[in-house]
Amino acid sequence: MQARYGVTNRELRDYSTISPSAWALLLMKSQSSIPFAKEAAELVWGNAVPASLADALVLENAPRRLRHFESRYRSLDLLLAEAGLPNVLEIGAGLSFRGLELTQTRNTFYVDTDLPDIAALKARLIERLASKPLAGTLRVQALDALDSAAFQAATGSMPPGPLAIANEGLLVYLDEREKAQLAANIRRALLLRGGVWLTADVYVRNSGGSAPNVSYGRAREFLDRHRVEQNKFKDWAAAEHFFAGNGFRVSRKLAHEHPAHIRESWALVVA
């Protein structure tokens, strides 16, 4: 199944080609302490991980990349905990099980969204991973985050109260117009409901012209094909300018520990 996002006033773009990154990231995270990553990987592959993915664990600077992705994951956890809001919408959630972890212990209404194929697989995995009753509510659904009507329908279906809209690993796949469309959808929802946008995707371009922790191999090919480096912000001032220009104010910043300072996680409120 192919998912085509953002068809208004621009060419159709096939986002299903991004989905392989969710598989590789799950396999990598299975080597970490991130909740449910190891269990989910075992359910998906057992002991028969495809060679094309297994290579990612031994090639292409995998240990450094794992530290990067685990830090990104934890930073969004921290921002969500600080926000403490009763409703969470995660967009582009991939094969991350943050919603399951959170609703096990908190009375949170969590809507976990991604492309149709990923959302369907994730729902099946959660059925097997959820071993005890949830304290909150977890809903997994497909969502075109660039579709204004679909986005507002998703947020409108959630219980009353302010929203935390969260994402990681999404903005780097969107060009400037697509990021602006997403920002407009989020801003409209927050104006109606109140709340905060939490993004772990404030990446700035590497002065060397490519991602500093990926220099070769399949990962490099994937990033180049999806123009990930070009989709990052030119610098921190450009990131500030983008969010301010789209009606947001930064209320909190978490800096990534990477020595090159390539990424931060930001909490944004409507200006």
Measure the CA–CA gap between 219 and 203, rounded to whole angstroms: 17
Is the model more confident about 217 or about 4? 217
Distance CA 140, CA 145 (A): 14
What's residue 171's pLDDT? Answer: 95
Q: What is the pLDDT of residue 53?
A: 67
Mean residue pLDDT of the chain comes to: 85
Q: What are the φ/ψ torsions at residue 95 (nearest 5 degrees)?
A: -100, 45
90 neighbors 111 (Cβ within 8 angstroms)? yes
13-72 residue pLDDT tens = 444 444 557 777 888 888 889 999 999 989 988 877 676 666 656 655 677 778 888 999
Identify the pLDDT of residue 66.
Answer: 85
Position 19 scores a pLDDT of 56
> How far apart are alpha carbons 223 and 221 in whole angstroms?
6
Residue 65 phi, psi dihedral angles, 5° rounding: -65, -40
The answer, yes or no, to whether residue 4 has pLDDT greater than 50, is no
Residue 168's pLDDT is 95
Q: How many residues does the chain have?
A: 271
User: Which pLDDT value is given to residue 116?
Assistant: 93
The predicted pLDDT at position 228 comes to: 79
Give 204's DSSP letter. Answer: B
Phi then psi for residue 114, to 5 deg, are -170, -165
Distance between CA atoms of residues 151 and 113, nearest Å: 10
* pLDDT attached to residue 23: 77
Q: Which residue has the higher pLDDT, 218 or 119?
A: 119
> What are the pLDDT digits (tens) for 178-237?
999 999 999 999 999 999 999 999 999 976 555 544 444 555 565 556 577 899 999 999
Tokens of 202: 């404030």
Closest to 129 measured CA to CA, from 155, 163, 95, 158: 95
List domains and CATH numbers for the chain: 4-270 (3.40.50.150)
**pLDDT at position 17, please?**
47
Higher pLDDT, residue 100 or 57: 100
- Name which residue leads in pLDDT, 259 or 8: 259
Look up the pTM and report it. 0.85
**Cβ atoms of residues 106 and 136 within 8 Å:** yes
- Lowest-pLDDT range of 22-26, 93-97, 110-114: 22-26
Note whether 92 and 114 are within 8 A (CB): yes
At 189 the pLDDT is 98
Whether residue 146 is predicted with pLDDT greater than 70 in this model: the reply is: yes
Give the pLDDT of residue 16.
Answer: 46
